[in-house]
Structure 1
Amino acid sequence: MMRTRPVKILADADQWARCAHQGTALLPGGGVGLAWTDLRSAPPIGDGSSASGTAVGLAFDRWGRLYRTDTTSNRVSVGKVGPAGAGTGTGGPSSPDIKYTRPTALVVDGDQVLYILDPGASRVHLIDLVSGTALQSVSPGPGTPAGATLGKVGVLVLLHGPDRLVVLDARCGPVRHQELVPGCAREARPVRVAGGYILWRRPDGRGYIARHDRPAGDGAELEVDGATDIVAWTDNSGRPGLLVARGPGRPFLRFLEHDGGWLEMEPLEAPGFDGGAIAASPSGRIAYSSAAATQWTAGSAARFVREGRVLSYRLDSGAYGTRWGRLFLDAIIPAQTGVALRFLTTDDDELAGPLDAAPASNTARGVSADAVVPRPDLTPPFPPRDLLDAAAAAVPLHRRRNGSEQPWHQRSADDPMETFEQPVTAPGGRYLWIEATLTGTGRVAPTIESIRVEVPGHDLLAALPRQFSREPAQADFLQRLLAPAEGLLHELDERAANRHVLVDPAAVPQEALAWLAGFTGLALDRRWPEAARRQLIAETFKLYRYRGTLAVVARILELYLGNRPSIVENWQTRGLGGRVLGLDPSGPESPGVGALGRSTGALGRFSVGGRRGSQSSFAAAAHRFTVIVPGTLSTEQRAVAALILDSQRPAHTLYTLCETHEGMRVGGFRVGLTSYPAQHPVLGPATVSHIRLGDDAVIGYGSITVPAPEASSAAGAAAGGGG
């Protein structure tokens, strides 16, 4: 039986944080890359008490609409991000009873109530965005409102004179307050609040960010010179953090919470930033004010160092004289960049003068910028400098053409990560250190995700005569010489031992999906998403049992589109075949009866049981159905959906494909048949008589940005009025 070869792994964030870094930075999910130029050392910009731009407040509602304050015109405008965005129109949330003196910060709570801070009047104006009406104007207490953020319960309002936080609720006004005492510097004052954090500024421009519930004198959590504004931010994986602005023309700094400290991410470019306001949209993008309009950030502003090194802590094989095997490295190495490895082994348990741990350049905790490593005393030691300098030179990496060494492991087609291989070029020894040297161009840098090292390596030397491995130098040479061939055989054995995954639709490699589908008689369409093709194979036999039914047609369309369509047979919406006997008492008189219903089927000028004319109700509705798809289909999706319907519908039926686009129209729809009332993760419930359909609310599925709908294959052709 084949024996799985154990490996030593460097993969998660804690392992990489415990390594010694020189010019390298940690990745949030685990991994390491090149560091970038330190942008935190910026000259101070004023005292941070006010923004230099005219717009000092930005906020988004759940519909993605942007609200912006303007201290020049003393108004609040509503619009969108871009050249024709907020600030260029004349409309905005207002009321004849509200006169803005100097509106600044804006906050939208979960009930879609807009809080407008008016320091000139020392009040906070509340406007219901659903109905567009003013609720009230309240005084948060003695002092001047300086900032606000959405808290766990209500809205946190920062007041000056004295400095304190007030919890404000739209229903009952101010709830409670908390006095603020600077724990980081006595002369600092709070200037901004975001999430659970407060930005403190000193007169010399030094900024400190600390939790608002941190005890006085407990120190700052983060120091950023020149910080003028902060906003709560979440990365693509949902990890919380903060984004810090530092005045006009400077990139925004980003920090993620990391093991009780902070992990700095690549800064964001903000061309034309006027120092006014920043805000996070419901989709997670960052908007900022500029002289012309409100703009989106423009990607990474990082300038990477050209070379960096990361040294692993000591890896222990557990046996003296161990010959380490192959090393596998998962990395992204763009053109003109590179990664080189060198190794150091020893059997000595104790070494004099080991190197000290060096934190990554983007880790920070308080003002000392120490590495965030829980229990650093548990980190295995590093080698001495002289031993490291004596290690063999690095050799180039080999990119594996067939991907990872793990059996049947496949990455998605759009994953840029690749697996590289290299034998451990060092003599046998119980302990191993790995040093990786990363080189980049300044604008482009490589990243390493994980490292795996076989321990021990292959044992082919034991099968050869002893004379071939009696000398250590000869044994090392043979160990490396036989490693590639033995590794290939070992991987083939592992694949054979795990060949059961080839008949598992969820685990089979992507290139073998068509082969597996052939056993069920399926010819897969490559236009389908990979996950949908896998699920179709898994459900094939169950679907074949009921082939040709509405349930199967709907299920196959759902697998491809991701949303379950509604299939309406036309007889369900045909109404009555003829006119109705009897009239409303307030209407015209009943017509005279001028024929025999039994012989002619006609009573006067109306008929019972059928439509007068050449087409009967049976001919209009029988064997016909309408497929109503939520949303708007692309040209490719529409072609694939038509192919599914042509191949899966009963041969004697006709169909119409209808798309709902951005929503359904009011009038002529049938709930449960031709319409989809649903809750969207961004959109909230609509209030009847307080919404404008197509403007600030839609019924059914919607999105923040609705693309221009393409021509539907049968727009509005659904029986009974359409989608």
Structure 2
Amino acid sequence: MLMTAVPTLPPASAGRRIAPVVGADEWRRCFHHNTVVDHVTGDVLLDHQPRPPDEQWPPPAEPDIEPAGLAFDRGHLYHGAPERGQIERVPWPRPAGAGPIDLLGPQQPPPAASPRGVGFVAVGAALGRPLRARALATDADEHLFVLDGATGTVAVVDLADGRLLRTITLPWPPVDLAAAGRSVLVVTASRRHPLAEVDALGTLREVVLDTGALAGVPPAAVPSRVTVGPDGTVWLLLRDGGGAWITSVTGSTLHAPIAVTGATDLELDGEHRVVAAGPPDRPLRTWAVVDGAAKADVPLLAPRYDGRGIVRTPDGRIAYWNGTALRVASTERVAYLPRGYVDTYTLDSLAYQQTWGRVFVEACVPPGTDLTVGFATTDDPPDGATGPITPPDTATTLLARTQPLHRRETGRELPWAPLDPHDRYEVYEAPVSALPGRYLWVRLGLAGTSRATPRIRALRAEFPSHDLLRKLPRSYRRDPAAASFLRRYLALIDGLLTDMERRAGERDLLLDPRGAPDELLPWLASLIGLTLDERWQAAARRTLLTEAVCLYRKRGTVAGLRRLLEIYLQCPVAIVEEFRLRGSGGAFVGGDTGDPGPASAVVGSTLRVGGEVARNPDTSPADAFRLHAHRFAVLIAGDLDCDRLAVVRDLLDLHRPAHTVASVCTVGVGMRVGVSLHLEVSTIVGPSSGFVPAVVGASAAGPATILGRGRAGIRAGGARLGEGTVIDS
């Protein structure tokens, strides 16, 4: 059965349609000669030059090198040193001069209790012993899980204060850990119970796998390592002596496990490639998984790799320990083949003797590379065709006749759909140089260098062709060769006319602020009597145009002005009218003289509490009117630079009522009590992030209620007075 592409785009002007080829799935249906499809971007590019066969890793020496845990949280790297019983914590990215801190080192003495009350201090929760950190993992709640190789248990450490919360003993021997959101996956050495899930509260749940999850892996192989990909899929490394197999146990599974002798660890990078580590100081092997099949990819260079484990960095790269510091593995430099081509699958116009128009190709063609195009058509597809790839023999000969493409200076041919200015791809076009026929094949020839290759993102074939030739006298088309040349020559004029006709036919798109080109936004704003500030970002200007009618109704009001500022600043804005602060409410703490007085206290560097009251609450009515009437303050929850602050002031001058006076207060100038910090006006009294308020009479202290952060010694139901908690007075 012959598979064809049926046009899916709506008809263009003059009854023309488009047959597209776009996306990784459609490009894989095409025939490739020395070209491949990038599994990340979906582009077509030249294949790599043949590499020597990968050197097989030798089976690991006996005894195996003891693994050392590596893990990341939102701002730190954790590295285990099992032989020293230490866990090093280093800020990541590592600033200059920042050294590692021993997380298991001596604990700092607890702070003295407040003289105004009692404080809860956790005791007896310090680690008190080293941990052989063979594996590390962090959860989303700032807990570090440590696989202790000395005892075969999992220790849960609170990263806020470095205290041990609890030790978890599993019924099966654990061998590795992997972060999974608010919990951690534990892989065990049991083939019947390979995975378990634990959380910081010590809850243990066995993960039941599908019966076919480990199909294809020898029965004697036992789980050794586990990892969780960026998409949440779980992968296992199973080993049997020197043999090793990698397989996916959740999500899309492999048709067959990846067999790699000598593998000791695995990870998935940010591009969803499988990365395996082997012996020390050897490159890391990679595989790209597409449609359940694993294809060997370019190795990663890891000089001085210590052989004790790899980890995925927060930005999706693969890192390793080289004995003294963390290093990021680099991609081995590839060399591209000099030439190749890709033949599209059969494009079907659904009409016999169809005259095809132009073809448009979105591609990136670096200097020194080239891109050509060839065509073949027929009305009768070959009998007995088994796929969408092979055209008839005569068509194959025609495809070899390639011609250059012309780069469109005006961008896409699609009306009002310009390319992003920062997009490195451009649109190329050429007339279809082939006889009329229902079916079309397009060959794109790629020529590159060993270091650069063209990249093809999309192809669009237009049909039918123009009819300008029929508007000329018949004598111009009596000779088929002359008619073919004239049709291609007139395609240049038809292209200009068609582009203008399509733009005119879909000019209603210009009235939509969300889809109109950036250069037309000022014109669109002029239709409603609005002048746009070019200092605004394009997204903010589009939002302003979308909400312009609603904002006109609220112009001069607090709600309208606040929304206008929020559109530009993209951060919360509060407007405080001074008349709401008359009397004692309008007084602020700390005077304007620069000397806040001996009773003042400074929280941080800008919040002043205490000192003399600058204004007398018994102010006369005349003074109160002068101080508070027609004045308001704009409180911005962000720090603005000079340029953005100038835009805000200009916006206030343009849209505030003419008789009012406005002041701007940002985070950078501080939050002074009574000036920019007002209870229930610019501050909120309520629950903070991550906490649920407890209502007296409607809540009960118990295992489900946590006082504070839930550290050891202060969790209700999880500690006993006198054993894990003391009251310090």
Q: After the TM superposition, which of the residue ranges 438-447 and 114-123 deviates more from structure 2?
A: 438-447
1:512 aligns with 2:549: no
Q: In the alignment, which residue of structure 2 is the partner of 1:107?
A: 137
Q: In the alignment, which residue of structure 2 is the partner of 1:192?
A: 225
1:507-561 CA deviation, whole Å, 9 max, x = no partner?
2222111122222333322232212111212222332333222222221221122
* 1:404 Cα deviation after fit: 0.8
* 1:406 Cα deviation after fit: 1.0
1:33 aligns with 2:62: no
Residue-pair matches, total: 632
Q: What do you get for the CA RMSD once the two structures are aligned?
A: 4.4
1:212 aligns with 2:249: yes
For the Cα contact (< 8 Å) 1:60–1:66, is it kept in 2? yes
Match of 1:309 among 333, 341, 345: 341
Q: After the TM superposition, which of the residue ranges 659-668 and 165-174 deviates more from structure 2?
A: 659-668
Q: In the alignment, which residue of structure 2 is the partner of 1:523?
A: 531
Change (3 A) 1:678 1:506: farther
Q: In the alignment, which residue of structure 1 is the partner of 2:701?
A: none
1:379-409 CA deviation, whole Å, 9 max, x = no partner?
4241256752454532221111111111111
Change (3 A) 1:401 1:168: closer
Q: In the alignment, which residue of structure 1 is the partner of 2:27?
A: 16
Q: In the alignment, which residue of structure 2 is the partner of 1:58?
A: 70
Change (3 A) 1:436 1:152: same
Q: In the alignment, which residue of structure 2 is the partner of 1:231?
A: 267
Q: In the alignment, which residue of structure 2 is the partner of 1:339?
A: 371
* 1:202 Cα deviation after fit: 6.0
Q: In the alignment, which residue of structure 2 is the partner of 1:462?
A: 470
For the Cα contact (< 8 Å) 1:339–1:446, is it kept in 2? yes
Q: In the alignment, which residue of structure 2 is the partner of 1:157?
A: 186
SS in 1 for 2:14: coil
Change (3 A) 1:288 1:672: farther
Q: For residues 244 and 197 of structure 1, what CA distance do their matches in structure 2 show?
A: 11
Match of 1:657 among 653, 664, 669: 664
TM-score, with normalisation over the residues of structure 1?
0.75
For the Cα contact (< 8 Å) 1:48–1:201, is it kept in 2? no
Change (3 A) 1:577 1:10: closer
Change (3 A) 1:533 1:392: same
For the Cα contact (< 8 Å) 2:578–2:586, is it kept in 1? no
For residues 44-443 of structure 1, what are the structure 2 equivalents within 5 Å? Answer: 44-47=56-59, 56-61=68-73, 63-84=74-95, 88-92=99-103, 96-130=126-160, 132-143=162-173, 145-151=174-180, 154-160=183-189, 164-170=193-199, 171-176=201-206, 183-185=216-218, 188-195=221-228, 196-201=234-239, 207-212=244-249, 220-223=256-259, 227-235=263-271, 242-245=274-277, 258-261=290-293, 274-281=306-313, 284=316, 287-295=319-327, 302-350=334-382, 379-383=387-391, 387-391=395-399, 393-443=401-451
1:165-204 CA deviation, whole Å, 9 max, x = no partner?
2414233454337699673346655331112111234655
For residues 537-576 of structure 1, what are the structure 2 equivalents within 5 Å? Answer: 537-572=545-580, 576=584
Question: Gaps (5+ residues) in structure 2?
Answer: 1-11, 106-124, 229-233, 588-612, 693-705, 712-729
1:9-34 CA deviation, whole Å, 9 max, x = no partner?
10132211111122323234543223
Change (3 A) 1:189 1:678: farther
Q: For residues 500 and 310 of structure 2, what CA distance do their matches in structure 1 show?
A: 55
Q: For residues 666 and 131 of structure 1, what CA distance do their matches in structure 2 show?
A: 32
Change (3 A) 1:465 1:578: closer
* 1:297 Cα deviation after fit: 5.9
* 1:439 Cα deviation after fit: 2.7
For the Cα contact (< 8 Å) 1:52–1:274, is it kept in 2? no
Q: After the TM superposition, which of the residue ranges 132-141 and 633-642 deviates more from structure 2?
A: 633-642
1:586-640 CA deviation, whole Å, 9 max, x = no partner?
xxxxxxxxxxxxxxxxxxx99984259x995555544443333334334443333
Match of 2:637 among 607, 630, 644: 630
For the Cα contact (< 8 Å) 1:51–1:275, is it kept in 2? no
1:449-501 CA deviation, whole Å, 9 max, x = no partner?
11011122112233334443333322321221111111211221111111222
1:100 counterpart letter in structure 2: P
For the Cα contact (< 8 Å) 2:168–2:202, is it kept in 1? no
Q: For residues 157 and 176 of structure 2, what CA distance do their matches in structure 1 show?
A: 17
SS in 1 for 2:562: helix
Q: For residues 36 and 678 of structure 1, what CA distance do their matches in structure 2 show?
A: 60
Change (3 A) 1:20 1:228: farther
Change (3 A) 1:110 1:449: same
Q: For residues 296 and 229 of structure 1, what CA distance do their matches in structure 2 show?
A: 16
* 1:295 Cα deviation after fit: 4.5
* 1:672 Cα deviation after fit: 5.3
Change (3 A) 1:261 1:332: same
For the Cα contact (< 8 Å) 1:578–1:608, is it kept in 2? no
TM-score, with normalisation over the residues of structure 2?
0.74
